[in-house]
Structure 1
Amino acid sequence: MNGQERRREIRELLESSAAKIRGSDLAKRFSVSRQVIVGDVALLKAEGVPVVSTPRGYILKREGEKPCGYLETLVCCHDAAHTEEELTIMVSLGALVHNVSVEHEVYGTLTGSLEIGTLEEVRDFIRAMRGGHSLLLSTLSGGIHSHLVETKDREHMEQVKEALRKAGFLYHKEEP
């Protein structure tokens, strides 16, 4: 099978699946390396295929798909050791953490997709970060980062913000 055929099949798999498909599973299925799949996904994205890369696999963003809850960007600040606690607070209160963003002095805004909404997904993310050779984006910005967070409604968002505030994670600039 050539690359073009493999990418067509990857696209078809993504179109027919509501669940995330791990890159390592695609690599096994097509008897190629994980890096080949990363390249295939990059080429699919370049062709306009709306592939979303998450820490737990690839998923296709459905056309017209919109968040079903209340969205807000929350700015947080903490060291890497508190990432699990921060994410756990949010998902324990029913939030879905869509992404993480930091401001970089050269590149501007850098954003990573998370799509974390369960305690299991928090544990998977933390395990992947500890087991890999990757750094959290927040290490590039002295711990200051933002998350696009979705909750059922505004009241639930206020609960999330209050819990983050109590934990000392919600960023606020001291006014002179």
Structure 2
Amino acid sequence: MTGEERREKIVALLGAADGALSGGDLAQELGVSRQVIVQDIALIRREGVEIDSTHRGYVLSRRDVPRRAFKVRHREDQVQEELDLIVDLGGTVEDVVVNHRTYGVISVPLNVSSRRDVARYLADIATSKSTPLSRITSGYHFHHVTAASEEILDEVAAALKEHGFLVERLPYEVSSDLN
């Protein structure tokens, strides 16, 4: 297989994946080293294909689908309920963002699109010394959510509101870079 064919296969694998694919997984699938995959990803990006890197691996960017920022607040023991609610309705939680008065806007990619992704994320938190990012802002945080349609995003908003998670934005947050 040529390098060009391998890069086409990487894009196809990422497009067909339910979640992130690690460099190691791609390397094993294609019979090359992880370093070759890293170099291929750089070349693919140079060709204009938008690939996001997450702590779990690579995903094709979802910038071409409907996207909305939701401001939410909940207790730490409600993280699973919030994320399950979003993915069950067909949303993908791209990231978690906090707007800290001292540190500014902090954003971390999540790319959670299934209950399996939610379980992995919660396991990562539980097995590390880390805590949810929203802890530094008393539970207030934002999620950018993508979905196949605006109607799904409307359903996500309604469900978050119904469960008491959705919070109104402050005036300075409405026109900020959190959108």
Q: Normalized against structure 1, the TM-score is what? A: 0.68
Q: CA deviation at 1:59?
A: 3.9
Match of 2:77, SS state, is helix
Match of 1:96 in 2: 92
TM-superposed CA distance for 1:24, in Å, is: 6.8
Runs (4+) of structure 1 exceeding 4 A deviation are 12-17, 23-26, 28-31, 48-51
Distance 1:113 1:14, change over 3 A: farther
Unpaired segments of 5 or more residues in structure 1?
1-11, 32-39
The alignment's C-alpha RMSD in Å is 3.5
Match of 1:139 among 135, 139, 149: 135
Alignment length, in residue pairs? 154
The aligned counterpart of 2:74 is: 78
The corresponding residue for 1:57 is: 57
1:6 aligns with: none
Pick from 43, 56, 63: which aligns with 1:66?
63
Aligned with 1:74: secondary structure?
Answer: strand
Partner Cα distance (2:23, 2:130) in 1? 17
Q: 1:12-54, CA deviations, whole angstroms, 9 ceiling, x for partnerless residues?
A: 796685253336769x9869xxxxxxxx89xx7xxx8976332
Unaligned runs of 5+ in 2: 1-6, 171-179
Structure 1 counterpart SS, 2:157: helix
Contact 1:55-1:125 within 8 A present in 2 as well: no
